[in-house]
A and B are shown apart, each in its own frame.
Chain A
């Protein structure tokens, strides 16, 4: 049985060794990425996708709602950031706020249609809505730039009052993204261990019982969907900055499938940290396998298949095997 049993119920203090390790890795990455043969931009990509994956897992792992169209909210965030820069004004916080707000509204509206659905109907609707956003991005040419997307989105500088940091430099941009990740991830950790998060998990385990002890289950589903879309929106805004563009592919079905794959392979079903492992593994596979063979995605796909067959708990599940009896850590 796959469970999120490693989650602390009694504690919930974000000061844990995985959190320490995670923040340490985040803070030191620029110093060892190049020496081990990788590059600065990879760190940015990984950090952004960790944000996306962590927010996604709130819905996928914790709430047990299987969304296959979550790329849409990443894309909405990316387009909102771009449109803000191109039409409203060059502003870092304005753009990111627009990205989060747009994705939150999109998630909240779609969530209203989804939160009374379950299982395959929920999954199909998420795909359907995902396609609606993707199709709109392609067809609303005057707004979104069609298949080319929005090009030349600037990376506005970070204004600190006393100084202005130019984020066009990938090293500086990494620090900015890492700081946001270091802020959001402990907040998500708090959320899943707070009463709200525990109710989510109770609903996943037994929706019927949750209703019979008085919880309005659909509201929790809706709220979780919305929070998860908002996180995706933030990741999308950062993604638009990273790519200096926003294009329909960002919200394609492929992208939505990718996040599911990363979260599953990493072990998002059994651990808060699963998505982090999954994202890192994917990008390492892309760059290392991709350096060796053009067919790397095939090998990654096969690895995914094997993983689902023999270790459905994912990478994080391996740690459980290595550290048995960790029921209440």
Chain B
């Protein structure tokens, strides 16, 4: 069943058309990949789907509800979480607090002006559990800025997970990671797929083909192919696009 759908999305910046008539559907409990060469419009597509930019035309629905043009914070509160390719963390803040802030239960305490941040042991434990999931539990009390690059990537995902999402959008999660860290991330996502509906943008084809149930290929702001990894392997356009031959 389709949980999240985008129909005929158009987006332009000035004279540049970035997304042209893109339609995508993400099924519940599946991992959906979006791939394509640099500049194909993948990140813009994510930004439109998660509310950072409103589409010029088209319609976005989540669980049957029209969310086109809603502000990102409202979309986030519906249970749509995302990570960023360029990391967006609260750098001067403890690792655990980055996660804590994203917990919906903590957000419920946002107007507390006299309460203490860590006074609710249940919330602290929930934040630690999320960190444990991405392998950062033992660094919980360090400053986020002090983490090495790979751990910051993991924290980026942890913040998205903390929101208790019904659908999780990951923007180039392997970006900048070495081979070993990429494998670790693949194992993490393999665990997460049991629990979440996931959409991943990725240019690392091997990584994506190993994970995704379905993949959409975006090029020139359009979906040029769609299918299971096996189907796409056989598609010469996909191969050439991914190799950068169609430029």
A-to-B contact residues, CB < 8 Å? 3-5, 9-12, 190-191, 193-199, 201-202, 205-206, 208-217, 327-328
The CA-CA distance from A10 to B77 in the complex, in Å, is 26
B92 touches A5 (CB 8 A): yes
| Chain B residues near A196 (CB-CB < 8 A) | 110-113
Q: B76-113 vs A: 1/0 string, CB under 8 Å?
A: 11000110100011111110010001101011011111
Given contacts A9-B93, A212-B88, A213-B159, contact A199 B101 (CB under 8 A): yes
Q: Which residues of chain B in 124-152 are interfacial with respect to chain A, using CB atoms and an 8 Å cutoff?
A: 141, 143
Of the four ranges (under 10, 10 to 19, 20 to 34, 35 or more), the interface on chain B belongs to: 35 or more
| Chain A residues near B115 (CB-CB < 8 A) | 194-195
B-to-A contact residues, CB < 8 Å? 50, 52, 71-73, 76-77, 81-82, 84, 88-94, 97, 101-102, 104, 106-107, 109-118, 141, 143, 159, 162-163
B92 touches A4 (CB 8 A): yes
Distance of A185 from chain B, by nearest CB (Å): 14
16 A-B contact pairs sorted by A residue (CB < 8 Å)? A190-B114, A191-B114, A194-B114, A195-B117, A196-B110, A198-B117, A201-B90, A205-B90, A208-B88, A210-B101, A211-B72, A212-B72, A212-B88, A213-B162, A214-B77, A328-B141
Closest to A196 in B: B113
Given contacts A213-B163, A215-B107, contact A197 B113 (CB under 8 A): yes
| Chain A residues near B107 (CB-CB < 8 A) | 213-215
B110 touches A211 (CB 8 A): no
A190 touches B73 (CB 8 A): no
The CA-CA distance from A156 to B184 in the complex, in Å, is 70
The CA-CA distance from A196 to B50 in the complex, in Å, is 25
4 smallest beta-carbon distances between A and B, as pairs: A214-B76, A213-B102, A3-B92, A209-B88
The CA-CA distance from A209 to B92 in the complex, in Å, is 14
| Chain B residues near A10 (CB-CB < 8 A) | 94, 117-118, 141
State the majority secondary structure of interface residues on B: loop
B89 touches A214 (CB 8 A): no
Q: A209-B89, A214-B73, A328-B143 are in contact. List 15 more A-B contacts (CB 8 A).
A: A4-B92, A9-B118, A190-B114, A191-B114, A194-B112, A194-B117, A195-B112, A198-B117, A199-B110, A209-B90, A211-B73, A212-B76, A212-B81, A215-B73, A217-B73
Distance of B199 from chain A, by nearest CB (Å): 15
Given contacts A193-B116, A202-B93, A206-B88, contact A5 B110 (CB under 8 A): no
The CA-CA distance from A227 to B104 in the complex, in Å, is 25
Distance of A118 from chain B, by nearest CB (Å): 15
The CA-CA distance from A191 to B101 in the complex, in Å, is 16
| Chain B residues near A5 (CB-CB < 8 A) | 92, 143
Which of B77, B82, B92 has the largest number of chain A CB atoms within 10 A?
B92
B90 touches A202 (CB 8 A): yes
| Chain A residues near B92 (CB-CB < 8 A) | 3-5, 201, 205
| Chain B residues near A202 (CB-CB < 8 A) | 90, 93, 97, 101
The CA-CA distance from A58 to B220 in the complex, in Å, is 47
The CA-CA distance from A198 to B108 in the complex, in Å, is 13
The CA-CA distance from A213 to B88 in the complex, in Å, is 11
Distance of A195 from chain B, by nearest CB (Å): 5
Closest to B106 in A: A195
Distance of A22 from chain B, by nearest CB (Å): 20
B116 touches A194 (CB 8 A): yes
Distance of B89 from chain A, by nearest CB (Å): 7
The CA-CA distance from A205 to B97 in the complex, in Å, is 13
Given contacts A10-B118, A199-B110, contact A216 B94 (CB under 8 A): no
